[in-house]
Amino acid sequence: MIKLVIIGTFIWVAFTSCSKSSNDVDSKKQFQGCVPEDELLATGIIGGPRVQQNDSDANRVAMILSDEDGDATGICTATLISSRVLLTAAHCITATPDKIKVAFHTSLSCESGFNIANTQRVLKTVVHEDYQDKTTTTEVINDIALIFLEVDAPSSYPIFKIADPQMVRNSRIYFYGYGVTGSHNKDSGVLRKTSLQRSDYVIKKDIEKVRVDQSNGKGICYGDSGGPAFVLIDNEPQILGVNSFGRGNEDKICEGTSTLALVFSYKKWIQDVMNENSNFY
């Protein structure tokens, strides 16, 4: 059975204390809002390595944490397009701005040094006014949104340009995300990366999407929603797509076809929204 699935995810854990032992002398490492690595209970990037905090590309994306009901925390991925503006998927905006936090870190784990207290607050979110999810159509349409931060993102995080599809030649497509590593795995909340060949993706300007063949075991999965698909334009990584949804056999959703919103098609919408909300950044 072929099934269409939005690729956001939720982790059913609480950010509680995390310490090495009950008598740890370093009190600063106790009571941190983080998740022990062996307890990351989420339903990522498949076929790719983990990105460590000190890696040169650890600053490509941010993690979006949405608290809907106090128990479930939704995980998505986003990319900076201004010092205070993040690009993500519309379906990732599932809570009011006061319930959303942004983490500029590679993992939720205590071992990585993550602390929920160091996440950034969100002032405003804007979802595309014509967004339609899978409940009303066979495709997810206009799955794009912007997040406005309260303060500037860390200066170590670059601001990315939007790729012009006409400039894409033979570039591989590069994915970064916090999702799981397979359809049945539960290892979200950790940043990973992968890439596919030019022959594995098709730019469809007529429907404002990018289709990606993931049958070779590489691509995006639950939790990678909203994250970028980069291509290299003159050796500069630029955003071609925003991860939207996957389609495949029910037991292998992440090994089928993924679909991305073609960001260039929304360039005017993005600029108009940023102009209308210039007081937020």
pTM, rounded to two decimals: 0.84
Same fold, 37-42+54-159+267-277 and 165-264: yes
3-state secondary structure 16-39: ECCCCCCCCCCHHHCCCCEECHHH
Distance CA 202, CA 69 (A): 38
Which tens digit of pLDDT belongs to each residue from 153-163? 999 999 999 99
Closest Cα to residue 147, out of 66, 73, 202? 66
212: enclosing H helix or E strand:
strand 209-213
Task: Give domain limits for the chain.
Answer: 37-42+54-159+267-277, 165-264
SS3 state at 264: helix
**First vs last C-alpha separation in the chain:** 46
C-alpha 127, offset from chain centre = 15
Distance CA 192, CA 46 (A): 8
Q: What is the CATH number of domain 165-264?
A: 2.40.10.10
Classify domain 37-42+54-159+267-277 by CATH architecture. Beta Barrel (2.40)
Max Cα-Cα span within the chain: 62
∠ CA(16), CA(86), CA(47), 5° rounding?
A: 70
Mean pLDDT of the chain: 81
CB 86 within 8 A of CB 149: yes
Least confident of 66-70, 118-122, 142-146, 156-160: 66-70
